[in-house]
């Protein structure tokens, strides 16, 4: 049975008093590795040095420029991010979601809520990551199919083969060279694009 790695949390908060609320809630939740960032200077570098599992951002009175900076952080940091704000509007919330903020909590900085917000942030981030991976995989498969179809068309034109025979040739060549079919197909398509018709043997 594997032991779960302890969480490392970074708190971005210019108010020590408010940061103390977050820290107390995290410690009650069993989190011991907590790093407080109080200065926004070179913020991304500070976060990179900490390499946290989750980032908590607390903004007492969020100005638009500060929010934009925090949204830039959330886009750059591939980690679950929870943002606590005292006041908000629809545009701010939509911007936070677009920026990848996992949990956006308005007027909800209470110690007893921290664990639930932390769990929600991680769960939402993981779910979104899975969707992104599935979308990327689907797009890659579609691109691979298009490349293979183009290569088959080239072989059919040059060799006078039907589609099944062209695919069989691609597959046997890939097996002989211990490469993927799409790699062989891509090489054929690239050669045709670079050298023009008639290069496919």
Phi, psi of 87 (to 5 degrees): -145, 155
Residue pair 96/121 in contact (Cβ under 8 Å)? The answer is: no
Q: Residues, the chain, total? A: 201
Q: Which two tokens stand for residue 193?
A: 């694009």
| DSSP one-letter string for 8-56 | EEEEE-S-HHHHHHHHHHHHHTT--EEEEE---TTHHHHHHHH--SEEE
Query: pLDDT for 30-44, tens place per residue?
Result: 888 999 988 878 888
d(CA 43, CA 69): 9
0.85 surpassed by pTM: no
| pLDDT, mean of residues 62-86 | 80
pLDDT band, very low/low/confident/very high, at 2 (cuts 50, 70, 90): very low
| CB proximity list for 20: less than 8 A, separation 6 or greater | none
Strand order in the sheet with 81-85: 33-37, 8-12, 54-59, 81-85, 103-106
DSSP letter at 79 equals S
Q: Which two tokens stand for residue 199?
A: 């290069």
| pLDDT score recorded for residue 152 | 93
d(CA 143, CA 133): 15
- pLDDT higher than 80, residue 153: yes
């Amino acid at each position: 049975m594997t032991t779960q790695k302890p969480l490392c949390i970074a708190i971005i908060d210019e108010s020590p008093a408010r940061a103390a609320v977050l820290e107390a809630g995290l410690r009650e939740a069993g989190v011991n590795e907590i790093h407080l960032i109080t200065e926004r200077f070179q913020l991304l570098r500070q976060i990179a040095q900490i390499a946290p599992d989750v980032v908590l951002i607390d903004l007492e009175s969020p100005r638009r420029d500060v929010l934009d900076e925090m949204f830039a952080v959330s886009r750059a940091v591939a980690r679950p991010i929870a943002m606590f704000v005292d006041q908000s509007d629809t545009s701010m919330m939509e911007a936070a979601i677009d920026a990848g903020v996992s949990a956006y909590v308005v007027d909800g900085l209470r110690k007893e809520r921290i664990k639930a917000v932390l769990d929600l942030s991680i769960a939402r981030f993981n779910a979104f990551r899975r969707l992104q991976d599935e979308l990327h995989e689907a797009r890659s498969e579609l691109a691979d199919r298009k490349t293979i179809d183009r290569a088959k068309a080239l072989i059919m034109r040059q060799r006078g083969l039907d589609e099944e025979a062209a695919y069989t040739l691609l597959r046997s060549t890939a097996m002989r060279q211990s490469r993927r079919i799409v790699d062989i197909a891509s090489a054929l398509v690239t050669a045709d694009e670079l050298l023009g018709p008639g290069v496919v043997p």
